[in-house]
């Protein structure tokens, strides 16, 4: 899919107060902003026009915009984020998305956009600490009338499905060793990532290029064989809050 637009939100000074399971320390705010600006500049360089929303200090995780919506060419699902502390973020994304898409708000269950991977017309949805079966069912009831199918995949370890699996092409996945053998992915070519490099599974494909986190030379070498332009970005401050590359934007 060619992306022309993306929505991002500038991190708030409170970003270190967000949810995290990582024991990597508190993010430095200036460095967070620098990394955010580099991320935005890379998207722009790849031909994407950005809408940058203002920081929300009352929602320290709100720059992880991917979790509150799922955008397709036809509509945008507004999710019911699995973490109660993040549920109020949805009202702040709706006006920005309403300018571009029909909004389909979820009314039941729990679901984070980070658990939703779209390949063609099929959604793979992680069952995780943030997304439950009721959320998957509610999501499916909204999208099935547009011809999309839904496959649920238990995530096991990791925050979200897309923490450990991402589509680098319509028939190619970058996926953790733990999930590489899952039957749901049997029809794809797969580049499996060893557990030590799992964070780099959160590599983002944008308009024929790949954006990958710094610090994972083995994964870089593996994906360099694809011959696509490769952008390596430092995400150290986002990683401290369990965040990565996909979660920082809504692309469409
Ligand atoms: C959270 O725990 O919700 C945030 N600190 C991180 C969310 C990262 N989102 C994503 O990977 N899609």
pLDDT digits (tens, 9 = 90+) for 218-242: 999 999 999 999 999 999 999 999 9
Ligand 1 atom closest to the Cα of residue 81 is 3
Ligand 1 atom closest to the Cα of residue 163 is 11
**How would residue 206 be classed by pLDDT, with cut points 50, 70 and 90?**
very high
Would you please indicate which residues are annotated as catalytic (active-site) residues?
Answer: 160, 247
Instruction: Give the residue-averaged pLDDT of 27-50.
Output: 98
What's the chain's average pLDDT?
Answer: 97
Instruction: Give the residue-averaged pLDDT of 80-93.
Output: 98
- Residue 140's pLDDT is 98
Residue 53: CATH number of its domain: 3.75.10.10
pLDDT at 66 over 90: yes
pLDDT digits (tens, 9 = 90+) for 128-165: 999 999 999 999 999 999 999 999 999 988 899 999 99
pLDDT at 97 over 90: yes
pLDDT digits (tens, 9 = 90+) for 189-203: 999 999 999 999 999
Instruction: Give the residue-averaged pLDDT of 163-190.
Output: 96
Q: How far is the CA of 25 from the centre of ligand 1 (A)?
A: 16
Burial 186-206 (b: 16+ CB within 10 A, else e): eebebbebeeebbbbbbbbbb
Answer yes or no: is the C-beta of 89 below 6 A from any ligand 1 atom. no
Answer yes or no: is the C-beta of 241 below 6 A from any ligand 1 atom. yes
Answer yes or no: is the C-beta of 184 below 6 A from any ligand 1 atom. no
Closest Cα to atom 1 of ligand 1: 19
Answer yes or no: is the C-beta of 76 below 6 A from any ligand 1 atom. no
- Residue 157's pLDDT is 80
Closest Cα to atom 12 of ligand 1: 114
Counting the structural domains of the chain, the total is: 1
Ligand 1 atom closest to the Cα of residue 242 is 6
DSSP calls for the chain? ----EEEEEPPPGGGGGS-----S-PPPHHHHHHHHHHHHHHHHHTTPEEEEEPP-TT-TTTT-GGGGEEE-SSEEEE---SSGGGGGGHHHHHHHHHTTSEEEE--SS---GGGEEEETTEEEEEESSS--HHHHHHHHHHHGGGT-EEEEEE--SSSSGGGTEEEEETTEEEEEHHHHT-GGGTTSEEEEE-GGGGGGG--EEETTEEEEETT-HHHHHHHHTT---EEEE--HHHHTTT--SGGG-EE-
pLDDT at 1 over 90: no
Closest Cα to atom 8 of ligand 1: 243
pLDDT at 21 over 90: yes
Q: Which residues span the domain enclosing 207?
A: 5-251
In whole angstroms, what is the distance from residue 88 CA to residue 44 CA? 29
């Amino acid at each position: 899919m060619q992306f022309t637009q993306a929505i991002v939100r500038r991190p708030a000074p409170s970003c270190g107060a967000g949810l995290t399971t990582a024991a990597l320390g508190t993010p430095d705010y200036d460095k967070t902003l620098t990394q955010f600006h580099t991320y935005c500049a890379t998207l722009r360089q790849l031909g994407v026009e950005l809408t940058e929303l203002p920081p929300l200090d009352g929602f320290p995780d709100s720059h992880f915009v991917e979790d509150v919506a799922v955008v397709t060419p036809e509509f945008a699902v507004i999710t019911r984020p699995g973490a109660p502390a993040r549920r109020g973020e949805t009202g702040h994304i709706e006006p920005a998305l309403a300018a571009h898409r029909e909004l389909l708000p979820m009314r039941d269950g729990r679901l984070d956009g980070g658990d939703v991977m779209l390949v063609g017309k099929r959604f793979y949805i992680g069952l995780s600490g943030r997304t439950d079966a009721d959320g998957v069912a509610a999501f499916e009831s909204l999208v099935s009338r547009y011809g999309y199918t839904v496959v649920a995949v238990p995530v096991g370890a990791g925050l979200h499905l897309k923490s450990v699996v991402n589509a680098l092409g319509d028939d190619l996945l970058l996926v953790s060793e733990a999930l590489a053998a899952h039957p749901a992915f049997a029809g794809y070519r797969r580049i499996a990532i060893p557990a030590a490099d799992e964070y780099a599974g959160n590599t983002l494909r944008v308009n024929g290029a790949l954006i990958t986190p710094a610090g994972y030379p083995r994964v870089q070498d593996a994906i360099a064989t694809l011959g696509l332009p490769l952008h390596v970005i430092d995400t150290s401050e986002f990683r401290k809050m369990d965040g990565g590359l996909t979660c920082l934007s809504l692309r469409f």
